[in-house]
Structure 1
Amino acid sequence: MWTLRRTSLRLRSQVLNAGPTRASSVNLVPTTWVENETAMHQSREITYARFLAADVLCGMDCASLNFAVGWRELSSQAGASSTKEDDGEVEGGSNDESDADLSDADENDEKLHDELELSDAETDPTKKKSPGRQTQSELFKAIVNAPGLSIDSALNKWVEQGKELSRKEIMLAMRNLRKRKMYGRAFQLFQWLESNKKLEFVESDYASKLDLIAKLRGHQKAEKYIESVPQSFRGELLYRTLLANCASQNNLVATERIFNKMKDLDLPLTSFTCNQLLMLYRKLDKKRIADVLLMMEKENVKPCLFTYRILVDTKGRSNDIAGMEQVLETMKAEGFEPDLQLQAILARHYTSAGLNEKAEAILKEIEGENLKQNQWACATLIRLYADLGKADEVERIWKVCESKPRVDDCLAAVEALGKLKKIEEAEAIFEMASKKWKLNAKNCSVLLTIYANNKMLEKGKDLIKRMSDKGLEIGPLTWNALVKLYIQAGEVEKADSILQKAIQRYGLQPMFSTYMAILEQYAKRGDVHNSEKIFQGMRKSGYTSRLSQFQTLIQAYINAKVPAYGIRERMKADNIFPNKSVASQLLLVEAFKKNAISDLLD
């Protein structure tokens, strides 16, 4: 029995009172989404042997029950007003940086799933590239330079010239395309290889193609694709890839359905699969983390380093620094040492808790004795020292890499200087980087966010025009920065208009924090109509309801001094339960209902 339970031994005295809390199992059934209303009335009992039913849990030894109760307490604390996040806003907002440290990949869905390294495994599963190093292939260059939207002509020409088209070259090109989020071209490469019979597909190829379909066309198309895959290749890798995509999109219903499908197919339960659930529940329902951990213990699924990253981050986000340190000690006892991402998570939570000395000690560990030899750590150090407000240290680290910087070093310096209110210096480094490299929209969003945070509307508009003139593809990060730019300028209606255009004209799924930024502004005004519009828009975009959404929506009714009829029922239907703060809001808003009735009687 693995030793993570040590983090919860202090709760042993609560064992006898644990029975009535969330019954027993992970309850992997749909709980939200309007379009799946019938699923909400399904039985909540899960027959999966890997999940514990109520009678099984009640009969377990006290130590195991303590383990579960401990994490339930963590979950209940997570919704309290004292926490750094209300209930897990994931994309954007003040907690983006912690999410970024949960993986080695970049933004959005990929950054939460660094374990889905299909392209690395395809070339050589025994080797890992050192941080920041990426070998390019000639095939990749030919694909990138292909004119127009189709890459077929470039691939045909490649073959006609008798150039190498080995599996190694193909997968190296695929990795380069993925690294740059060129999913469309990566998918075309697979299509061309398949139609021209240039590659004998194995399970990892089918999984990689499925991953691209999920990213480009959605999880439903990806699930449909599985039916076309030969039966012998429909294994755990294929389904875990689909599961990871559903989880990265915060789609609770789809994730749990795919998980149960894996159970029905009797596929192996792995730490990767469990990590997808842990990441999803860390954001949407922390109370269920306990169930996943208990399941892992029962099924002898050993946590990996990535598992510990999630657990450390969850404790830190709940302001439980002692618990965070206990998880860290348990991890070390199991033979794991913190990597750069985990060290960054620890440093950020120490900084947020005001424990600056502890944060600085970790930064010294990251730096080591010779930073020039560890230059790959510069970007992380620059950002973390900016969090601490140490401008001198930011400047010192930047000088180490200034003569030969990477793109990420430059962007980290821009971000850090912006945070330190050194706008002109940030602009100078950005201009240098833009001349040295062809920056994409995501890179430009770093400077755009600085303009938004400092209410520099005109400069923000100029940057957007430059991006448009260069033909850069505008993504969720840029829209997020643009929306906040107008909000900071007091133009909420303009921000709302931009959001609606992004959805309607470009078919974009905005970031969660983009919606919340507008919702909060309407709520402050007491604009119930527009608050409800944004709230419903979030549901249509696929975001499952969270406590913070209801909290903000209720505040709109409070500020408007009108009753929110049926709000408790709406929360219950979405399996959302009020914490102390929301309970107080509900009492306030219900008082308006009494006044409204009194007015009618008068």
Structure 2
Amino acid sequence: MWALRRAVVPLRTHGCHIGASRTCCAKLDTLTTDLEHKVETCNNTQFVSSGYRTWPKRSYQSLSSHSKFSSASRGLSSQAGAESSEEDSVEDGFSELETPSSEVAGETTVKEEIAEDLISEPDLSDDDETEVSLKELGLSDTDQNAAEETSPKKENDSGLFKVLLTATRNSMDNELNKWDEEGKPLGRTEISIAMLNLRKRRLYGKALQFSEWLDSKNKLTYGDRDYASHLDLIAKVRGLQQAEKYIKSIPESFKNEVIYRTLLANCVTGSNLKKAEEVYNKMRDMEFQMTAFSCNQLLLLYKRLDKKKIADVLLFMEKENIKPNLFTYKLLIDTKGQANDIGGMEQLLETMKEQGFEPDISIQATVARHYIFAGFNDKAEAVLKDMEGSNLKQNRAASRSLLLLYADLGKADEVDRVWKVCDPNPRMEECLAAIEALGKLGKIEEAEAVFDKMTKTWKKLSAKHFTTLLQVYANHKMLMKGKDLAKRMHECGCRIGPWTWDALVKLYVQAGEVEKADSILNRAAQQNQIKPLFSTYMQIMDQYARRGDVHNAEKMFHRLKQAGYGGRIRQYQTLLQAYIKAKVPAYGFRERMKADDVFPNKSVAVQLAQIDAFKKTAISELLD
């Protein structure tokens, strides 16, 4: 674990060294680093946003105050989710790539988990790390295993599931009452199959309504995992506040680690840093045995919002002897890649292999993607060949990633070759990847042909499938085709959600119609209970900043805060850029940031110095 932490982050030098005595990790101590953390003997620590609390029950060495979770040294989220503290002279492997906001292309956004009635659209990116499986949550023992092991039926053969799938919100209870009155099967197995497949389709609203009906009819004897499953649905559909309220109603004997890690996972999904740390600390206070899952959730959150805290989580895992798993390594490898630290990424891969883990397709794709964007195309191609293996027909699971990554490399022939393997009997995810890949290569007609193939292969397409092609049109400034496709979506009865709004806004922004894009976003935010994505707001705000339109940039900044996207440094960078472009001073900007608990990183400090130059002095006013 010590070697893992050393591989992850070049540590700071402040005097004494950690650990020659860490014999349990002696094998990995060959990994080198140029700096070491200062250590001090202190009490066990908790993760907090507003300070550094001590926990007197166990004592060990901890990081120095430079690395503690204090508000004074908090970093702030940027485009890549990276962080940088006020101590600009201190560098580590997780400092953000300093990029002026006007040059930032967009932000990696967090997947929004929302109710079926409000329509959830899955993430269209490669990054599935925010999708927490039932198995990881520990809920599969009563749901997934029962469904897969006990029943020989295929998922769509479940009569109960079909009833739930076709029922509306208003008719579901009546349909379920009728099912029950007719004496049809309603045991644990049938319930598990239905619930599992509702979750797989992200029909969380229906799943919650079904769960509440079961509870009202006393159809299940609840165990901790049943309570956790119900809690998970409440958090996804009604939010964290209602989920916490539900926990209070759970019998004390069932309020165990499974319950709270379920809540923690939903805090992370919503990027709620303060609440996630609060839940984690509560788990510590209740003396639950901490697991790799819970630590991974914090790593995931800090990877997105505050990279400087990653080393602290790894130190905690080391002290508590919590072994990293494959997902831990995936997070750390991706983080190093985001920081463009290719050497560190490769070092982590070696450490992972030494610990007995082999990279899966997801990790290989992550490594290849970072090689590509760092300019190591030969290394990327070697990884892709390894992913493909000797027979792609037998290794179809790699096809989706291969299509996208070969497109990133500009290898049109390789994209065509992989697609020819898939084309005779394509899977949905392969079609979507092919559309995106062909769009990247500028092969619009070929992308449209794949979309047409989808419409003929599957009876009904969702908004997600239309949105993939819509993104292609947006990227190529094909406004009229995008409008026609949007009308077609409406005619097909697709329910529009955040990912489609994002594509529509991008379509108009790329066509230069920023005001129209702003109008679409404003209507979407007002007419729906689902909030738009952070990146959707930022697409418009970036355009206002480039124009030097301070008024509209401030308006978008306000709307971001109203939508719950406060406290991220990205929008402050963009707003500052609007003032710089307009060559006007931004009075009190430092105070605004401080009031929002946001602190400048290097690039923001440069921008603040620029707007200071616009301020009038007594002599300048006389000269003017």
Q: TM-score, normalised by structure 1?
A: 0.86
Q: 2:613 is paired with a residue of what secondary structure?
A: helix
Question: Matches of residues 431-442 of structure 1 in structure 2 within 5 Å?
Answer: 431-437=452-458, 438-442=460-464
> Is 1:29 the counterpart of 2:48 in the alignment?
yes
1:208 paired residue number: 229
> Is 1:541 the counterpart of 2:559 in the alignment?
no
Aligned equivalent of 2:423, options 390, 394, 402: 402
Q: Distance in 2 between matches of 1:563 and 1:10?
A: 38
Q: Distance in 1 between matches of 2:258 and 2:366?
A: 29
1:122 paired residue number: 142
Q: Distance in 1 between matches of 2:175 and 2:146?
A: 31
Q: Distance in 2 between matches of 1:539 and 1:7?
A: 37
Q: 1:443 is paired with a residue of what secondary structure?
A: helix
Q: 1:111 is paired with a residue of what secondary structure?
A: coil
> Is 1:100 the counterpart of 2:126 in the alignment?
yes
Q: Distance in 2 between matches of 1:545 and 1:118?
A: 32
Q: 2:494 is paired with a residue of what secondary structure?
A: coil
Question: Matches of residues 281-360 of structure 1 in structure 2 within 5 Å?
Answer: 281-360=302-381
Q: Report if aligned partners of 1:6, 1:330 keep a CA contact under 8 Å in 2.
A: no
Aligned equivalent of 1:221, options 242, 260, 266: 242
2:504 paired residue number: 482
Deviation at 1:136, TM superposition (A): 3.5
1:34 paired residue number: none
Q: Distance in 1 between matches of 2:351 and 2:268?
A: 27
Q: Report if aligned partners of 2:580, 2:611 keep a CA contact under 8 Å in 1.
A: yes
In 2 relative to 1, CA 9–249 (structure 1 residues): closer, same or farther, beyond 3 Å? closer
In 2 relative to 1, CA 87–14 (structure 1 residues): closer, same or farther, beyond 3 Å? farther
Q: Distance in 1 between matches of 2:290 and 2:139?
A: 22
Q: 1:548 is paired with a residue of what secondary structure?
A: helix
Q: 1:153 is paired with a residue of what secondary structure?
A: helix
> Is 1:464 the counterpart of 2:486 in the alignment?
yes
Q: Match for 2:52: what amino acid?
A: E
Q: Report if aligned partners of 1:91, 1:513 keep a CA contact under 8 Å in 2.
A: no
Deviation at 1:507, TM superposition (A): 1.9
> Is 1:47 the counterpart of 2:72 in the alignment?
no
Per-residue CA shift, 1:56-113, capped at 9, x if unaligned?
Answer: 4459xxxxxxxxx9xx844553243499989974349xxx99973453xxxxxx5366
Deviation at 1:153, TM superposition (A): 2.8
In 2 relative to 1, CA 122–100 (structure 1 residues): closer, same or farther, beyond 3 Å? farther
2:216 paired residue number: 195
Q: Report if aligned partners of 1:382, 1:412 keep a CA contact under 8 Å in 2.
A: yes
Aligned equivalent of 1:257, options 250, 263, 278: 278
Deviation at 1:19, TM superposition (A): 5.0
1:183 paired residue number: 204
RMSD: 3.3
In 2 relative to 1, CA 112–322 (structure 1 residues): closer, same or farther, beyond 3 Å? farther
1:107 paired residue number: none
2:95 paired residue number: 77
> Is 1:515 the counterpart of 2:537 in the alignment?
yes
Identical aligned residues as a percent: 54
Unaligned regions of 5+ residues in structure 2, if any?
17-35, 66-86, 112-121
Q: Report if aligned partners of 1:88, 1:282 keep a CA contact under 8 Å in 2.
A: no
In 2 relative to 1, CA 51–543 (structure 1 residues): closer, same or farther, beyond 3 Å? farther
Q: Distance in 2 between matches of 1:492 and 1:9?
A: 41
Unaligned regions of 5+ residues in structure 1, if any?
32-43, 60-68, 104-109
Aligned equivalent of 1:267, options 288, 303, 321: 288
1:506 paired residue number: 528
Q: Distance in 2 between matches of 1:322 and 1:498?
A: 44
In 2 relative to 1, CA 549–220 (structure 1 residues): closer, same or farther, beyond 3 Å? same
Name whichever of 527-536 and 222-231 sits farther off. Answer: 527-536
Q: Report if aligned partners of 2:546, 2:578 keep a CA contact under 8 Å in 1.
A: yes
Deviation at 1:548, TM superposition (A): 2.1
Question: Matches of residues 532-571 of structure 1 in structure 2 within 5 Å?
Answer: 532-571=554-593
In 2 relative to 1, CA 292–434 (structure 1 residues): closer, same or farther, beyond 3 Å? same
Give the number of equivalent residue pairs. 566
In 2 relative to 1, CA 430–488 (structure 1 residues): closer, same or farther, beyond 3 Å? same
Q: Distance in 2 between matches of 1:314 and 1:230?
A: 40
Name whichever of 4-13 and 439-448 sits farther off. Answer: 4-13
Q: Distance in 1 between matches of 2:545 and 2:234?
A: 38
Q: 2:516 is paired with a residue of what secondary structure?
A: helix
Q: Distance in 1 between matches of 2:9 and 2:518?
A: 49
Q: Distance in 2 between matches of 1:121 and 1:596?
A: 73
Q: Match for 1:382: what amino acid?
A: L
2:409 paired residue number: 388
Q: 2:584 is paired with a residue of what secondary structure?
A: coil
Q: Report if aligned partners of 1:100, 1:112 keep a CA contact under 8 Å in 2.
A: no
